[in-house]
Amino acid sequence: MSVRVISRSTKANPLHHHPRRGEFLIRGFLLFCGVFSILTTLGIVYELGKEALLFFRNPAVDLLEFFTGTKWQPQADAFGILPLVTATLITTSIAMLIALPLGLAVAIYLSEYATPKARNILKPTLEVLAGIPTVVYGYFALTFMTPVLRSIFGRDVVDIYNMASGGLVMGILILPLITSMSEDALSAVPRALREGSYALGATKLETAIKVVVPAAISGLAAAFVVGISRAIGETMIVAIAVGAGPNFTFNPFKGAETMTGHIVRISGGDLSYDSIDYDSLFAIGLLLFAITLILNIISQRIVRRFRETYE
Amino acid sequence: MSIPTNGKRLTPHFESNLPPRNRKATLWRTLFQLSTTIGMIMLMLLLYNIINASFGLVAIDNKIDPASLAVDGVPIEELDQETLITIIKENVSKGKFRQLEREQPLAERTWDEVYQVVIDDVVQPKDIVGTWSLVESLTRKEEIVAEVEQEHPQATVKFTSWIDPQFVTSPQSSDVLKAGVRTALLGTLLIIAITIVIALPIGIGAAIYLEEYASDNWVNRMIQTNINNLAGVPSIIYGMLGLAIFVRAMKPITSGAIFGFTDPTTANGRTILSAGLTLSLLVLPVLIINVQEAIRAVPNSLREGAYGLGATKWQTIWYHVLPNAIPGILTGAILSISRAIGETAPLVVIGAATYITFDPNSPFSKFTTLPIQIYQWTSRAQGEYHNIAAAAILVLLTLLLSLNATAILLRNRYSRRY
């Protein structure tokens, strides 16, 4: 074959006149694969938007009440999303209170202190932690964390289903995510910065805290934002351990229902299409989608700035 | 790195400054180590909690206390077959005894079968009156036995492994002692098979397009940004998308109606096919990102070499880029697929409340999966359901672990070749 190619290319008619239909078809298929993801996004926006529009057009729903009402009782035509939002915020805050300091500390330890040997053990272990399905964490929250909390604070204070236990376990779930993103950011800081700091007589800690962390701050911020977004969208832990009914409360030891928990409970039951219950789920879903999308875009903006600095 | 501390070369100010700084450094270092340890401890606690619930004593209330059936002080486990038959004859009604003989004469059955008849028809286990965790069972066995003796005189206490071969092979059941994960396991495997068939070609195709073909224009930048954003969309949103599109809008296809599947129990779109399609959409973004990284890792000199020899774009990709990227692609693919196996929320939305005891046999069957099963059992208030949930978690984790091990093995195998 090679002989033929050479002899042909010596003629006046060069290779590029040879039509390559196969190449063209393959390219077309690959382009379709790439565009497919756009279709998914359009599908999400269209379906959530369509059903949410039906919901907001319903005479029983008032847009102002939707965002300010403190009662979510579809049976009584009360559609105020605040109880679901506060529950989401409380569980997310508890999770971030656990995951942020711990995750940052583990990341600093892994990137600045750990010997290669220790790192080779710790990183895969954290990956195992990250690979455990969330429903298992839900089981852990209900059968371990809740009894522990109840024995510490008393059974009268802590309900069986409560936001604290779900939030704490969610923190453990997000810990590996924050750790791995933060560690990437810290490791990307050029070695020269550390050497310079040591040369000026700084200790390892001073180098880590005053030089490396500030240099990686945008990467750490991105990890933080992605962590929040993951916590807001987390479903199974809250569905199992946090409760089964919207409840407008700020007490973390009480049961409540987050946006995700509500969607999964209602759609897990017998749900008839074209009912206001069904449509209301898509309105919640749209809000959830919007919040996480905004957080993701913010984190990508931060990361892009961070890349410009060091590459 | 060490700071010279012999006083001769340092100013007095520096010398007095150094010990507190070092103390602070040690303190923080300990804190960092402590945080890492806490992370590890949490993983241990998680596993401990699951294993602790998967084994342990269980007290079952019986109609007749098996101890009272003992003949001359010999417990029924050690009696010979004839005595067992006599016990059956004495304790069941005449009609029941004749029926048993009609099915197969008791004398011709094996000892194990006869013993089973004694347990099923004479002892008649009824309810589980209590379950204990592994640690409790090992440390306070006597107390538990005494306690049960007092409250339920007829009950037997025995050590049970909630996870055993029978648990994996028997279908879902309302009887906790007989319930298994067969239905759920088959559901999971079928759904994942569909996910692989659909997501893998599209995912790899999209990654090749973005890495090899896409020039830096706004369309391709938008595709890339879009994929990154999709990777961060909560999984339950995909569940709602699947519910709206695959379950409702595409119902004739996903229920199998247009292919002639008119089984009334399955023709509602909440099928294995819908679940597989939904999970495909869910894993695609992560899959694409993983495969992109694998393709990006192939050195550019290989491509240049192929072009230099006159290869076309696709020949370069097919014969040079992909073979070198295969280990990375496989690892990325398996990792994203194993994420899909653990997904629960979108499938709960797609599948709704399903209680099925028969094996799913086509893409148009109703389904339940391991995570859904775990969710449903965990949501029950009775303790024994938590035991089988823990056993199901062990099955799920074993499945995931073996997949990840396969990923590592494949990667190592192919890495040696290139």
Please identify among residues 67-86 of chain A the ones whose CB lies closer than 8 Å to any CB of chain B.
none
pLDDT tens column, B5-53: 554 555 666 667 788 888 888 999 999 999 999 988 988 999 999 998 8
Helix or strand run (H / E) with residue B60: strand B55-62
Model confidence at A43: pLDDT above 90: yes
- Give the chain A residue whose CA is nearest to the CA of B5: A201
Spatial separation of the C-alpha atoms in residues B120 and B233, rounded to whole Å: 52
pTM for this predicted structure: 0.86
As a whole number, the mean pLDDT across chain B is 83
Sign of CA dihedral A310, B3, B7, B12: positive
- Greatest Cα-to-Cα distance within chain A, rounded to the nearest angstrom: 92
- At A21 the pLDDT is 81
Nearest to residue B210, comparing CAs of A27, A25, A308, A300? A27
At a CB cut-off of 8 Å and minimum separation 6, what does B299 contact? none
Where do the domains of chain B lie?
A: 56-160, 182-417
pLDDT tens column, B161-176: 888 888 888 887 777 7
Q: Which of B31, B244, B281 sits opposite A40 (nearest CB)?
A: B281
Cβ of B1 and A204 within 8 Å? yes
Model confidence at A1: pLDDT above 60: no
Cβ of A32 and B43 within 8 Å? no
Contacts of B31 in chain A (CB under 8 A): 105
Contact between B364 and A154 (Cβ < 8 Å):
no
Name the burial class of residue A127, with classes exposed (0-12), middle (13-18) and buried (19+) by CB atoms within 10 angstroms of its CB. middle
What band does B145 get if pLDDT is binned at 50, 70 and 90? confident
pLDDT tens column, A121-138: 888 888 888 889 999 999
Contacts of A22 in chain B (CB under 8 A): 314
Q: Give me the domains of chain A, ranges plus CATH numbers.
A: 81-310 (1.10.3720.10)
3-state secondary structure (DSSP) of residue B157: strand
Q: Which residue has the tokens 């036995």?
A: B145
Q: Between B37 and A11, whose confidence is greater?
A: B37
Q: Tell me the one-letter amino acid at A78.
A: A
Spatial separation of the C-alpha atoms in residues A211 and A208, rounded to whole Å: 6
Model confidence at A13: pLDDT above 60: no
Model confidence at A2: pLDDT above 50: no
Q: Tell me the one-letter amino acid at A280.
A: S
**Average pLDDT rounded to a whole number, residues A282-301:** 91
Model confidence at A41: pLDDT above 50: yes
Spatial separation of the C-alpha atoms in residues B369 and B380, rounded to whole Å: 17
3-state secondary structure (DSSP) of residue A264: helix
Q: Which of B206, B213, B349 sits opposite A27 (nearest CB)?
A: B213
Assigned CATH for B182-417: 1.10.3720.10
Spatial separation of the C-alpha atoms in residues A87 and A258, rounded to whole Å: 5
Q: Which of B25, B33, B227 sits opposite A37 (nearest CB)?
A: B227
Token couple for A12: 């006046």
**Average pLDDT rounded to a whole number, residues B145-154:** 77
- At A120 the pLDDT is 84
Residue B64 DSSP symbol: S
Spatial separation of the C-alpha atoms in residues B397 and B402, rounded to whole Å: 8
Token couple for B27: 């303190």
User: How many CB atoms are closer than 10 A to CB A51?
Assistant: 22
pLDDT tens column, A227-249: 999 999 999 999 999 987 888 88
pLDDT tens column, B194-247: 999 999 999 999 999 999 998 888 888 899 999 999 988 999 999 999 999 998
Chain A interface includes B243 (CB < 8 A) = yes
Q: Tell me the one-letter amino acid at A254.
A: K
Spatial separation of the C-alpha atoms in residues A41 and B195, rounded to whole Å: 19
- At B117 the pLDDT is 76
Cα B396 from chain centroid (whole Å): 2
% chain B with pLDDT above 70: 92
What band does A310 get if pLDDT is binned at 50, 70 and 90? low
**Average pLDDT rounded to a whole number, residues B100-106:** 78
- At B226 the pLDDT is 92
